[in-house]
Amino acid sequence: MEKNKYINRLEKQDIKPTAIRLLVLEAISNKKEIFSLLELEAELGTIDKSTLFRTLTLFQQHMVVHSIDDGSGAIKYSVCSSNCNCSISDTHAHFYCLHCYKTFCLDKVAVPDLKIPDNLVPISINLVIKGFCEECKKFAT
């Protein structure tokens, strides 16, 4: 039952559900927070880093995860909602905490309708708000 859910999700996104992909999808689906490749590697010790990276890249191309460049130097990933097309209109803002260095999806905060010149073809937008999270706001000055 649980397993079928993950198989369906991959097939829906045109990904062949191999054992490793299912393992990775299950691990990331249970995450509440954004994760980096390193964190996932530490968790899934049995899968080597390059396989993991290839899997995440595939997931990203097929809109299972989106990546966030929060400026910390490491690309972070988060699972997309099931109806996400990863288009600019599906893109939401992210929040990066300057104290605990956690990054959050702000699912409800859409990227504003930016007036981009007609001669340009935008593919993605990276909107990261930096500040202090709920836990850390006592450190804000």
Q: Which residues bind Zn ion (CB under 5 A)?
A: 63, 66, 78, 80, 84, 86, 97, 99-100, 105, 133, 135-136
Closer residue to Zn ion in complex, CB, 19/123: 123
60, amino acid identity = Q
Closer residue to Zn ion in complex, CB, 48/131: 131
C-alpha–C-alpha distance, residues 46 and 32, integer Å: 22
Record the tokens describing residue 54, joined without a space: 């290839």
CB of 117 to Zn ion, least distance (A): 25
Compute the radius of gyration of the chain from its Cα atoms. 16
CB of 79 to Zn ion, least distance (A): 9
User: Is the distance from CB of 97 to CB of 136 less than 8 angstroms?
Assistant: yes
CB of 125 to Zn ion, least distance (A): 12
Closer residue to Zn ion in complex, CB, 14/118: 14
C-alpha–C-alpha distance, residues 83 and 72, integer Å: 28
CB of 26 to Zn ion, least distance (A): 19
∠ CA 87-83-88, rounded to 5°: 15
Closer residue to Zn ion in complex, CB, 15/63: 63
